[in-house]
Amino acid sequence: MKKIQIFDSTLRDGTQGEGISYSVTDKLSIVHTLDDFGIDYIEAGNPASNPKDIEFFSKLKEIRLRHAKLCAFGSTRRKGVKAAEDSNVQSLLQTQTPAVSIFGKSWDMHVEKVLRATLDENLELVYDTIKYMKDAGREVIFDAEHYFDGVLNNEAYALQVLKAAVEAGADCLALCDTNGGTLPHVIFDRVRQVVGLFPKVHVGIHCHNDTGCAVASSIAAVEAGAVQVQGTFTGTGERCGNADLSIIIPNLQLKMGYSCVDSDLTGLSRAVRHVCEISNMRVYQSKPYVGDSAFAHKGGMHIDGVSKLSSTFEHVSPESVGNVRRFLMSEVSGRTTVLKKLEKVAPDLQRDTPEVAQILEKLKVLENNGYQYEAADASFELMALKTLGRYKEHFTPIIYRTIGEYPPPNGERSASAVLSLRVDGREETTAAMGNGPVNALDNALRKALTVFYPDLGQVRLSDYKVRVLTGAEATASMVRVLIESTDGDRSWNTVGVGTDVVAASWEALCDSFEYILHRKDEHA
């Protein structure tokens, strides 16, 4: 299989995405995650840009990676300054990374209007900087910034820039669609041209997603002969983001026969969730390969087909990328759906078992009352176990009381909660503050439960949604609360319904903790 180098820029280009900010500890954790997954190059950032990156590069010198090469990122030298005297260039060398990524102008308009240099001066900047790095023993990847816009405006000059980089000793020419406006068929043609003109140098591709085509354009570039794909692991980046490597890698490796990472892809979903967790992002449900909905089936015909032969409605097996198949429950579900949904917790159930009909009937009643189990698998499982008489209660709520104040007495925490619960005959009463009554109740509940179940300290609420089911009663309307919880390794969803948003939240919170305790019992 032909090897495609995977170059990850989560820690540099990815940090330019709106809402993304990493601590040094966050960055180190991401480095280890990407290395463990088998990424070839990790672009660690620009060491001259800020004190945080300086500290980060200092700590990187102390770690040993299993597979990945670290890469420092910086620009060509400044006008009128030798590479050996340019502080930014020197900072790249001081990182001691085996590879460096040097970006330079390939669009004549940028050279003259932004860099305010002559076209010949820019060629010298590119040549001198790369030659200096090569003489220092570094592997050099040249990022031809705005290449596709540049070649459209002045093809001869854009190719001159690439030629200068090759003559200086660049190991790879990364063609950058910096504005993200080039369509895949144009990417293919231009990459094939460069591959033909510079056969002794690796050609890479770096796409932004401003037309929604970054993944398709990256794959088109590989088909045209590119051997390095740059992007960010979860698609984060400037404006609309970068090419999403978590989609590109399985497409190339599972669909096209290329080798991208040394191992199989069963760790893909876990790696994506870990990076998203550090980034304070949710994995989009519809995200290909790794999203919760990637292998979720709701239609009866789909569920029946997948139950008989998975390839009828799945292009790859969910296990191949570390994901799981899900059957979505709703009032239109049939017995087949219930059986598939419960095959892990009640494998003895048969289609004609009376309890299956009872579960279906209860499901219809509850959904008519506002519950929705399509997005609350954990609550459905608990409901089914109760109907089957197989539910073990891990704690019994006795009473809770919440108090809210405005304005907040300490400027932040506006509410408090007091609650009592019972576990195996022992009663625990506790109190907690929070940013609102639901947060206070959540804090108090986990505080009480960790007395009996210390492992619950790892569980936290990762998403919280409230939907008004009907507006006819104004502020007394029925609401549905959906909660997503995680322990860092897995996520699960629960639901609560009522006219009191705090009571509905309490129901979903209790289900959340009951579900994970039930799961822990199963694996004990």
Tell whether 349 and 423 lie within a shared domain.
Answer: no
SS (H, E, C) 423-483: ECCEEEEEEEEECCHHHHHHHHHHHHHCCCCHHHHHCEEEEEEEEECCCCCHHHCCEEEEE
- Beta carbons of 79 and 129 less than 8 angstroms apart: no
Average pLDDT score, the chain: 92
Mean pLDDT of 84-97: 94
Residue 154 lies in a domain: yes
Q: What is the pLDDT of residue 329?
A: 67
Instruction: Say whether both 137 and 182 belong to one domain.
Output: yes
Say how far residue 372 (Cα) sits from the centre of its chain: 26
Query: Tokens standing for 407?
Result: 């304005």
- Residues 461, 442 share a domain: no
- Judged against a pLDDT cut of 90, whether residue 457 lies above it is answered with no
Residue 165 has pLDDT above 60, yes or no: yes
Residue range 291-312, pLDDT digits in tens: 989 998 887 778 778 888 899 9
For residue 375, name the pLDDT band (cuts at 50, 70, 90): confident
User: In this structure, what DSSP letter does residue 282 have?
Assistant: P
**326 assigned to some structural domain:** no
pLDDT at 410 over 70: no
In a domain, residue 116? The reply is yes
Does residue 410 sit within a domain? yes
Looking at the fold, whether 184 and 238 belong to one and the same domain comes out as: yes
Residue 328 has pLDDT above 80, yes or no: no
pLDDT, tens digit (0-9, with 9 covering 90-100), for 173-219 = 999 999 999 999 999 999 999 999 999 999 999 999 999 999 999 99
Record the tokens describing residue 352, joined without a space.
Answer: 């004609």
CA distances from 424 to 132, 229, 308, 386, 427 (A): 72, 57, 44, 19, 8
What's the average model confidence in pLDDT over 435-455?
93
Pairing, β 426-434 against β 415-423: antiparallel
Which CATH number characterizes residue 98's domain? 3.20.20.70
CA nearest neighbour of 34 among 4, 10, 18, 51: 10
Please, are residues 262 and 67 in contact by the beta-carbon 8 Å criterion?
yes
Is there a single domain that holds both residue 80 and residue 158?
yes
Q: What angle do CA 97, 278, 270 make, to 5 degrees?
A: 90
Whether residue 255 is found in the same domain as residue 366: no
Of 322-331, 446-455, 481-490, least confident by mean pLDDT is 322-331
Contact between 273 and 297 (Cβ < 8 Å): no
DSSP state at residue 252: I
Residues 259-296 pLDDT 10s = 999 888 999 999 999 999 899 888 898 999 999 899 98
Residue 486 pairs with which residues in a beta bridge? 460, 491
- Which residue in 517, 387, 518, 385 sits closest to 446, CA to CA? 517
Q: For the chain, what is the domain count?
A: 3
Does residue 399 lie within any of the structural domains? no
pLDDT greater than 60 at residue 90: yes
Same domain, 390 and 418: no
The alpha carbons of the chain give a radius of gyration, in whole angstroms, of 28
pLDDT above 90 covers a percentage of the chain that reads: 71
Of 214, 236, 263, the residue that ends a domain is 263
Average pLDDT over every residue of 61-75: 94
Largest interatomic CA distance in the chain: 85
Residue 306 in domain: no
DSSP state of 283: P
Question: Are residue 414 and residue 489 in the same domain, yes or no?
Answer: no
pLDDT band (50, 70, 90) for residue 368: confident
CATH number (domain holding residue 497): 3.30.160.340
Give dist(CA 68, CA 93) in Å, integer: 18
Instruction: Clarify whether residues 170 and 62 are in a common domain.
Output: yes
One-letter-per-residue 3-state SS of 356-411: HHHHHHHHHHHHHCCCCCCCCHHHHHHHHHHHHCCCCCCCEEEEEEEEECCCCCCC
Q: Which DSSP letter does residue 265 get?
A: S
Q: In what order do the strands lie in the sheet with 426-434?
A: 396-404, 415-423, 426-434
425 with 385, same domain?
A: no
Rounded to an integer, the average pLDDT of 407-420 is 83
Pair (448, 461) in one structural domain: no
The tokens describing 263, both together, are 């191992």
pTM metric for this prediction = 0.76
Q: What percent of the chain clears pLDDT 70, i.e. is strictly above it?
A: 97
Per-residue pLDDT tens over the stretch 459-509? 988 889 998 887 666 777 889 999 999 887 788 999 999 999 999 999 999
**234 shares a domain with 350:** no
pLDDT classification of 423: cutoffs 50, 70, 90: very high
> Is residue 44 assigned to a domain?
yes
Size (the chain), residues = 524
Backbone phi and psi for residue 197, each to the nearest 5 degrees, phi listed first: -80, -30
Provide the residue range defining the domain that includes 213.
5-263
For residue 331, pLDDT beyond 60? no
Beta strand pairing call for 396-404 and 415-423: antiparallel
Answer yes or no: is 522 within a domain: yes
